[in-house]
Amino acid sequence: MDNVPLYGGADAMKDENLFHTVLCDLLGIKYPIIQGAMTRVGGPRLVAAVSNAGGLGVLPTFGVSPEKLRQSIAETRTLTDRPFAVNIVPMGRAFTESRAKIVIDEGVDIATTGRGDPTTPIVSWLKQHNIKVLPVVPTVRHAIRVVEEGADAVIASGCEAGGHVGTIASLPLIPLVIDAVKVPVVAAGGIGDSRGFVAALALGACGIQMGTRFYATHEADVGPSEKRSILEASEEDTVVEAMLTGKPVRVLLDREIEKLLQLRKQGAADKELAAFATEIRKLSQRDPEKQTVVAGQISGMIKTIESAEDIINQIIEGATAICNKLHLLAGAQ
């Protein structure tokens, strides 16, 4: 881990640049913390707040019309002069091309991508326009492919994360990806505080991406009931369900998701399960209080709603304290 002097001298332990990694240089940010893109949740207010606090805010494109995406980019620029990114989920060639074109036309310098579509060369498209691209990957195989396409860094995301997930946990995935590619690797999945931040750096990552922790922020674009559902959840209150989007996605358990699981347990046919999943989506659209909450297993760790700035500051301050403790322990040997 050449780029993160976790165990420097006593003076380094007091230096706020202790956590300045290659990711900071690549993206032009103060702290190596990326806010995961979240549909409905991460609008311009949250994105700008994260970027203003020294991290990298990321706007979503999934579930966002082209007009709304252009408006969100423009609004974010009125709220921050710091770097921010746009996330593009490859949802088929037409969707991917249209969102990539907006990113290019609007002069966005940084893009993250979802868990990839081998038939859509999103990375190479964006790189042709000098956009820095950080794909989210769930496997070593996927990481190698996007690096071959020109990715500047990769975000290795374990199955603990909220949203669309793979099957490999963060602890083995992150070092496996680091060993397999020669670009910076960002850790994601199951990270929500300073302990996870330091652990990711100890594994060799150059920074972290968090989504769920930023859900419970004052700037998140969701109502009190959704934020409260995160605060009330335990580590056992999420489930991975493929019927909602056609791909495995980790969400909080609620009454409707429990009904879906019960139908499957009772032996319901796929057609019946798909029809009920469609009703869940329609219910979410009709009633904001019935939204399916996409969240990771760290939901059980979150007990307060904070500002994005406070969350980032707490992570850096807590990580510094941990490193100071480790330094003192090492000196006592």
pTM confidence score? 0.90
Task: Give 33's pLDDT tier (boundaries 50, 70, 90).
Answer: very high
Same domain, 109 and 66: yes
pLDDT of residue 39: 87
Closest CA to 188 of 35, 7, 8, 27: 35
pLDDT(87) > 90: yes
Q: Which residue has the tokens 């990375």?
A: 123
Same domain, 154 and 37: yes
- For residue 298, being part of any structural domain is answered with no
Same domain, 251 and 309: no
**H-helix or E-strand spanning residue 165:** none
Share of the chain above pLDDT 90, in %: 64
Q: 283 or 214: which carries more pLDDT confidence?
A: 214
Same domain, 145 and 248: no
- For residue 194, being part of any structural domain is answered with yes
Same domain, 171 and 213: yes
Same domain, 280 and 325: no
Same domain, 90 and 19: yes
Model pLDDT for residues 152-169, shown as the tens digit of each residue: 999 999 999 998 888 999
Residue 195, classed as helix, strand or coil, is helix
* Residue 181, phi-psi category: left (phi > 0), alpha (psi -120 to 50), beta (remainder): beta
38 and 211 Cβ atoms separated by less than 8 Å: yes
pLDDT(331) > 80: no
- For residue 313, being part of any structural domain is answered with yes
pLDDT (mean) for 111-129: 82
- For residue 1, being part of any structural domain is answered with no
Task: Give 213's pLDDT tier (boundaries 50, 70, 90).
Answer: very high
**Count of domains observed in the chain:** 2
Q: CA–CA separation, 182 vs 204, rounded Å?
A: 12
Q: CA–CA separation, 309 vs 313, rounded Å?
A: 6
Burial class of residue 67 in the structure, from the number of CB atoms within 10 Å of its CB (0-12 exposed, 13-18 middle, 19+ buried) = exposed
pLDDT of residue 114: 83
pLDDT(84) > 90: yes
Task: Give 1's pLDDT tier (boundaries 50, 70, 90).
Answer: very low
Q: 240 or 283: which carries more pLDDT confidence?
A: 240
Distances (CA, A) of 228 to 39, 218, 310: 18, 12, 18
Mutual angle of helices 44-52 and 308-331, in 10-degree steps? 40
Q: Look at the chain and count its residues.
A: 333
- For residue 296, being part of any structural domain is answered with no
- For residue 270, being part of any structural domain is answered with yes
Number of helical (H) and strand (E) elements in the chain, helices listed first: 14, 11
Same domain, 139 and 266: no
Q: What is the average pLDDT score of the chain?
A: 88
- For residue 48, being part of any structural domain is answered with yes
Same domain, 179 and 310: yes
Question: Which residue range is the domain that position 75 belongs to?
Answer: 10-222+303-331
Amino acid at 55: G
pLDDT of residue 237: 93
pLDDT(221) > 50: yes
Kindly provide the b/e burial profile for residues 46-55, where b requires at least 16 CB atoms within 10 angstroms of the residue's own CB.
Answer: bbbbbbbbbb
pLDDT of residue 14: 45
Same domain, 87 and 165: yes
Q: 330 or 55: which carries more pLDDT confidence?
A: 55
Which CATH number is 218's domain given?
A: 3.20.20.70
Same domain, 91 and 180: yes
pLDDT(6) > 80: no
- For residue 4, being part of any structural domain is answered with no
Same domain, 241 and 109: no
